[in-house]
């Protein structure tokens, strides 16, 4: 795959480890699917996981969880950690950023994976961030935040910089 000239922000080292988002993935973050309302369970949750080494993207994974399918066995956090370890990257020079269109995920397995990796590696990595566009279950979200507090993981809503990253991802990499 050729690297577009304008892709300086998202210049991954190896495209083999780089999942590309679809237009509907980005729409889920913007809530353009027309089914999401605060406090109402969305029809689909998109989770984008980004692994960085010395601040440079080395892997990106995307998983989609629907109410019916729940995302199956797709574990974003452990997949990124295993990639970093397999490639020989020292974890203290790495970071993991998880972006979720809605939080928490429908997939209990995915949430357990996020919690386990945050608790195990939150203080080892440069940073371990879980960022979300919107919360659909405030109680579960608050409980998750409480369980991982103090381990070095950050759980928060997406900031302006996070939305800039998502817009750049959409502009430069979306597969239609």
| pLDDT tens sequence across 15-52 | 567 888 899 999 999 886 545 455 577 888 999 999 99
Quick check: helix, strand or coil at residue 40?
Answer: coil
Q: Which residue has the higher pLDDT, 34 or 159?
A: 159
User: What pLDDT is attached to residue 175?
Assistant: 76
Inter-residue long-range contacts of 11-15, CB under 8 Å, 24+ positions, other chains counted? 11/56, 11/57, 12/56, 12/57, 12/58, 12/59, 12/60, 13/53, 13/56, 13/57, 13/58, 14/58, 14/59
Right CATH for 15-173 from 3.40.140, 3.30.460, 3.40.50, 1.20.1250:
3.40.140
User: What pLDDT is attached to residue 18?
Assistant: 81
pLDDT in tens, 77-102: 999 999 999 999 999 999 999 999 99
In which band, very low, low, confident or very high, does the pLDDT at 3 lie, cut at 50, 70 and 90?
Answer: very low
Q: Dihedral through CA 168, CA 113, CA 51, CA 123, nearest 10?
A: 120
User: What pLDDT is attached to residue 94?
Assistant: 97
| Cα–Cα dist 102/79, whole Å | 20
Which secondary-structure segment (H or E) carries 108?
Answer: helix 108-121
pTM (2 d.p.): 0.86
The stretch 47-67 carries a mean pLDDT of 91
The stretch 118-124 carries a mean pLDDT of 96
The stretch 127-149 carries a mean pLDDT of 95
In percent, the amount of the chain with pLDDT more than 70 equals: 83
Q: What are phi and psi of 118, to 5 degrees?
A: -65, -45
Rg (CA), the chain: 15
- Of 85, 9, 104, 95, nearest to 47 by C-alpha is 104
Whether the per-residue pLDDT at 4 is higher than 60: the answer is: no
How many C-beta atoms surround the C-beta of residue 140 within 10 A?
A: 14
Mean pLDDT across the chain? 85
User: What pLDDT is attached to residue 73?
Assistant: 58
Most confident of 30-44, 51-65, 162-176: 51-65
Strand duo 56-66 + 94-103: pairing: unpaired
């Amino acid at each position: 795959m050729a690297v577009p000239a304008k892709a300086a922000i998202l210049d991954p080292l190896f495209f083999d480890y780089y999942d590309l988002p679809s237009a509907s993935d980005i729409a889920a973050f913007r809530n353009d699917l027309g089914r999401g309302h605060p406090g109402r369970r969305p029809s689909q949750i998109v989770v984008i996981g980004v692994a960085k080494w010395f601040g440079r993207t080395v892997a990106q994974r995307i998983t989609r969880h629907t109410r019916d399918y729940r995302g199956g066995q797709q574990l974003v956090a452990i997949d990124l950690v295993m990639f970093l370890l397999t490639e020989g990257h020292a974890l203290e020079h790495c970071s993991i950023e998880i972006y979720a269109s809605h939080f928490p995920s429908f997939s209990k397995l995915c949430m357990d994976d996020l919690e386990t990796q945050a608790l195990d590696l939150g203080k080892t990595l440069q940073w371990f961030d879980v960022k979300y566009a919107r919360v659909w279950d405030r109680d579960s979200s608050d409980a998750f935040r409480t369980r991982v507090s103090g381990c070095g993981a950050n759980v928060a809503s997406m900031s302006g910089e996070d939305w800039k990253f998502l817009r750049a991802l959409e502009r430069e990499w979306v597969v239609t």
